[in-house]
Structure 1
Amino acid sequence: MGLVFQIAGSSSQLLLEAAVLAHYSHDSDPSVAMAGQVGSQIKMRVGSSWLVANVRTMVLDRHDPTKIVADIDFLGEGDEERLTGKIYGFRRGVTRYPTPGTEVYPVSSVEMNQIYAADERANVQIGTVYPTKSTRAALYVDSMLGKHFALLGSTGTGKSTSAALILHRICDLAPQGHIVMIDPHGEYSAAFKTNGAIFDVNNLALPYWLMNFEEHCEVFVTSEGAERTLDCDILAKCLLAARSKNRLAESTGRLTVDSPIPYLLSDLTNILQNEMGKLDKGTNSLPYMRLKTKIDEIKTDPRYSFMFSGMLVADTMHDFLAKVFRLPANGKPISIIDVSAMPSDITSTVVSVLARLVFDYAIWARNEPQRPILLVCEEAHRYIPSSKTGGGQAVRKILERIAKEGRKYGVSLGLITQRPSDLAEGVLSQCGTIIAMRLNNDRDQAFVKAAMPEGARGFLDSIPALRNRECIICGEGVAVPIRVALDNLEPERRPASSDPSFTEQWRDCGGENEILERTVNRWRNQGR
């Protein structure tokens, strides 16, 4: 096809024959037909090894229009089969670079199978490697989950279906696994109804007393500035007193405001009332009234009953962890936590409690047989925003901590987002595997490029040109960076996230009065 023109550590150049590329483009083998084009693979011989590289850019030689100058990134090397001259035993990284003048050849589909063939490590197959029709793309599950992963893509690129595909494959591989997924739009319940446990406002029954002090403040304290500090101090004192009333507190050596000890909300309001009546308190009654009013308001609001019902005061911590963390899984290794019907002002606190329970469980179970947990966060930019001000800071802190320290304790984080540029700085770089679908926004593309390893740059340039349900995968979960056309998922395993057909549904008319009546009724009763 051509020759090696220039060699450098980070990027090298080839001089390709335009006529030869045109000849290859008619080849029946799709890999050979693509040879030399942007995103394709080429090979060159060094000693008894074949080096494999990815073509990043192409430009016509100004001095000779029959030649094309191409930038390449080296992927790895393999041994040469004596009889056929083909590649086998492919491995990542390069031990010897070629010299200028080394001849360059196309890579066939048979060799692509060798390059991308999964080794004996546990893996799941999720699609076909571009540009082949048959080479299967594999994700190494232990490597991907051990160092966290991120799935990124603009709305409408098939992100939800791709997430469902990857999670289904993992569930099929490990039916006794432990996966917790935060679902903010109620999309994934349909996808995992046969092999997952579905929790929403009707059956989650999240006990309020599992919140730590910071989460209590987010829910109960409404004031700002200096007043907020004062209200939080009063709440800390009264919350500790309320927790200490439980008999469990007597057997607890070091009781703190963060200890997950059940308490009655009525006890908390009574203690606030008593403290307010004391003459030696260092402030007026207003902070006590603010807290008491907010607690009473939440207690009586039916929208909060999934968390603040009087029925949730019993010590159900063991049972709650067992059902949400799938301990044991009983063939349903994934919990879908549907937070779509929860009041928006408490959603981030619910996610914070669940994420912190995952992390705290892992810390306190260090001396036990390990049960690693995967926490998957859809719409991650909501919970780990780049802004360090405003509400929802508790969830931001715990997810950042899991990103930094989770793998030491067997907690894996999966982030799914359409706005990677809105994520807190540094979180994306903690993800060892990045699965990037099409991103339309320049700022998002730049953000992803900054987080990806150097060798994947050629692939990154094609992110805006990816088709729906195509992605670039690089990092720990794959042997080398790859572009993948993802498999089709069976209809019954897909999330409920398809776009509406306006023209079809606008043609459908009749029964509008009944639709409005039922909708208004559900709206008023805050039920489904």
Structure 2
Amino acid sequence: MAFKSTYLGTIQDVSGTSLNIALDNTAPSGLTYVDGEGYRIGQIGSFVKIPIGYIDLFGIVTQVGASAVPENQVLTQPYGYRWIKVQLIGEGQRNGSFQRGISQYPTISDEVHLVSEVDLKKIYGQPEKPYFVKVGHIAGAESIPALIDINKLITRHSAIVGTTGSGKSTTVASILNAISDPVNYPSARVIVFDLHGEYGNALKDRAHIFKVNADKTEGSFEKDLFIPFWALSFEELIGISFGQFSSEKDYNTVLERITNAKIKSLITYPKNGINTDCLNVDSPIPFSLNHLWHDLYTKTLGKFYPDKPGKPLAFEIDDKGNEIKGDPAKAIPPVFKPVNTNTANGDRVQHPIDSPLTNSQQLHSLGSKLRIPRFDFLFKPGDWTPDENGKTEKDLDSLILEWIGSDKPITIMDLSGVPNSILNTIIGVLLRIKSLMIRSW
């Protein structure tokens, strides 16, 4: 066969879209040149084409060398290293455009050729279409831009994968810069969940950045990220605040108390679109978690005087003679006198007969979270923090407006400061709120 600069060999085995190709002895090895451009032969990830009538089939090299020999020919091939395995990916008319999928298959002895830069333009070249954005260039042909179809990107699920240091974050930043271009896409609205704080500096000119414990120094472009606890579903809130209950009784007690707190809040501060008939425990109605916690703590862990009129609580006394009742707003628990069953030691003090919760561990856990600053974005969400009766300075509509109603096309939710123990839950909450944003927008 006469030598051709692009000729590699012939097909010897076809299994669905997988092909085994025997390299011809006259085919170049290592490096060849086509129209002045150098190409490596049989490189993993490189393209090949199979001319069939008026169309060209295109495939990607997936295996090279002895391991690419068909199983039934391993023992009979003296030059087993001159084989490549190819996976078909698409086809195109000889002078037309490329499309994914295969309408017909090659057969034995069909020729296989190296894909040149001219052929690569059929696969990747879409520069004249306005909905394609450039994110780089093709590794095998620097003159061909790497383009992404924005229409497909934003209407389908997508993934950018690669090893550490391969440029995933740089690629994402490049895509975000492209689709937030105010000239080409003036109505663009992009929400980024930044788990590691990677994109703030790269996109700060086009983004508002909401971050847990934001930098408040002069010149900082960060804003506080607040996620009001009362906007969480009951299961989400329980998982973050109380944790797993040891009994169904405790679970139902907290469920009932949160529901009642939301009903009381709604009656005191009515809201459009909801009333007590349709309210449930998952409704995003503000209520005071601090006061709910303090009340449960007092009634579960409190001690009382059984011999005094009204059986009052037995609080410890501070240096000024005041009862140490704690402070719900600051999540400071009350302090009670120790149990005393012997009247010779003073007034009798005993545990409550029927406490709301059987296990106090959840109360201690929640109390510490209400006091720890790293949870403030959730339990003390700025203007969205409820008072004792459930009143807040702002409602969820203003929070959503802050996130997507700004003058910048990108909103970055920097979650690098969120505790790992609740990160998955917070991402789920943001995804749900995001869906509400899309419907309302």
TM-score (norm. length: structure 2)? 0.69
SS in 1 for 2:107: coil
In the alignment, which of 51, 74, 89 is matched to residue 45 of structure 1?
Answer: 51
Give the aligned partner of residue 379 of structure 2. 308
> Counterpart of 1:204 in structure 2: which amino acid?
L
Give the aligned partner of residue 194 of structure 1. 205
In the alignment, which of 231, 234, 250 is matched to residue 253 of structure 2?
Answer: 234
| Number of aligned residues | 352
Instruction: Tell me which moved more, 122-131 or 291-300.
Output: 291-300
In the alignment, which of 382, 397, 402 is matched to residue 318 of structure 1?
Answer: 397
In the alignment, which of 121, 124, 132 is matched to residue 141 of structure 2?
Answer: 132
> Counterpart of 1:127 in structure 2: which amino acid?
G
2-structure distance, mates of 1:26, 1:3? 20
Which segments of 5 or more consecutive residues in structure 1 lack a partner in the other structure?
82-87, 372-528
Give yes or no for the alignment of 1:104 onto 2:112: yes
Which segments of 5 or more consecutive residues in structure 2 lack a partner in the other structure?
1-6, 70-75, 215-223, 303-309, 312-351, 387-391
Alpha-carbon distance change, 184 to 94 in structure 1, aligned in 2, over 3 angstroms: closer
> Counterpart of 1:8 in structure 2: which amino acid?
S
CA shift at 1:112, angstroms? 1.0
CA shift at 1:63, angstroms? 4.1
In the alignment, which of 66, 85, 88 is matched to residue 74 of structure 1?
Answer: 88
> Counterpart of 1:111 in structure 2: which amino acid?
D
> Counterpart of 2:40 in structure 1: which amino acid?
M
SS in 2 for 1:21: coil
> Counterpart of 1:108 in structure 2: which amino acid?
S
> Counterpart of 1:356 in structure 2: which amino acid?
R
* Larger Rg computed on CA atoms: 2
Q: C-alpha deviations, 1:242-282, integer Å up to 9, x for none?
A: 11112236735411110001112344246536875999x99
CA shift at 1:197, angstroms? 0.8
Give the aligned partner of residue 219 of structure 1. 240
On the 8 A contact 2:30/2:41 being kept in 1, the answer is no
> Counterpart of 2:11 in structure 1: which amino acid?
V
CA shift at 1:317, angstroms? 0.1
Q: C-alpha deviations, 1:39-75, integer Å up to 9, x for none?
A: 2222232222222222222336864649933222222
> Counterpart of 2:289 in structure 1: which amino acid?
L
Give the aligned partner of residue 488 of structure 1. none
SS in 1 for 2:198: coil
Q: C-alpha deviations, 1:274-312, integer Å up to 9, x for none?
A: 875999x99535548555544443333333322222742
Alpha-carbon distance change, 100 to 129 in structure 1, aligned in 2, over 3 angstroms: same
Alpha-carbon distance change, 121 to 78 in structure 1, aligned in 2, over 3 angstroms: farther
Give the aligned partner of residue 450 of structure 1. none
CA shift at 1:238, angstroms? 0.8
> Counterpart of 1:15 in structure 2: which amino acid?
A
Q: C-alpha deviations, 1:367-393, integer Å up to 9, x for none?
A: x6xx5xxxxxxxxxxxxxxxxxxxxxx
> Counterpart of 1:221 in structure 2: which amino acid?
F
1-structure distance, mates of 2:412, 2:15? 48
CA shift at 1:164, angstroms? 1.8
1-structure distance, mates of 2:105, 2:270? 67
Give the aligned partner of residue 400 of structure 1. none
Give the aligned partner of residue 207 of structure 1. 228
On the 8 A contact 1:177/1:333 being kept in 2, the answer is yes
On the 8 A contact 1:17/1:66 being kept in 2, the answer is no
In the alignment, which of 175, 180, 183 is matched to residue 194 of structure 2?
Answer: 183
Give the aligned partner of residue 115 of structure 1. 123
2-structure distance, mates of 1:349, 1:80? 52
SS in 2 for 1:181: strand
Alpha-carbon distance change, 29 to 316 in structure 1, aligned in 2, over 3 angstroms: farther
Give yes or no for the alignment of 1:150 onto 2:159: yes
On the 8 A contact 1:272/1:288 being kept in 2, the answer is no
> Counterpart of 2:207 in structure 1: which amino acid?
G
- Counterparts in 2 of 1:123-522, with a 5 A limit? 123-172=132-181, 174-201=185-212, 202=214, 203-222=224-243, 226-227=246-247, 229-246=248-265, 247-248=269-270, 251-269=275-293, 272=296, 284-287=355-358, 290=361, 292-309=363-380, 311=383, 312-313=385-386, 314=392, 315-324=394-403, 326=404, 328-330=405-407, 332-362=408-438, 365=439
Alpha-carbon distance change, 231 to 63 in structure 1, aligned in 2, over 3 angstroms: same
Give the aligned partner of residue 328 of structure 2. none
- Greater relative contact order (CA < 8 Å, ≥ 6 in sequence): 1
On the 8 A contact 1:18/1:67 being kept in 2, the answer is no
> Counterpart of 2:263 in structure 1: which amino acid?
S
2-structure distance, mates of 1:55, 1:262? 59
Moved over 6 A (4+): none
Q: What RMSD over aligned residues (CA atoms) do the two structures have, in Å?
A: 3.3
1-structure distance, mates of 2:198, 2:52? 51
Alpha-carbon distance change, 28 to 219 in structure 1, aligned in 2, over 3 angstroms: same
1-structure distance, mates of 2:82, 2:367? 74
On the 8 A contact 2:54/2:94 being kept in 1, the answer is yes
> Counterpart of 2:412 in structure 1: which amino acid?
I
Instruction: Tell me which moved more, 201-210 or 305-314.
Output: 305-314
Q: C-alpha deviations, 1:126-161, integer Å up to 9, x for none?
A: 222232221222222232332312223333333322
Report the structure, 1 or 2, having the larger helix content: 1
2-structure distance, mates of 1:23, 1:268? 74
In the alignment, which of 7, 18, 22 is matched to residue 11 of structure 1?
Answer: 18
Q: Percent same amino acid among aligned pairs?
A: 27
2-structure distance, mates of 1:24, 1:343? 52
Give the aligned partner of residue 405 of structure 1. none
> Counterpart of 1:14 in structure 2: which amino acid?
I
Give yes or no for the alignment of 1:21 onto 2:28: yes
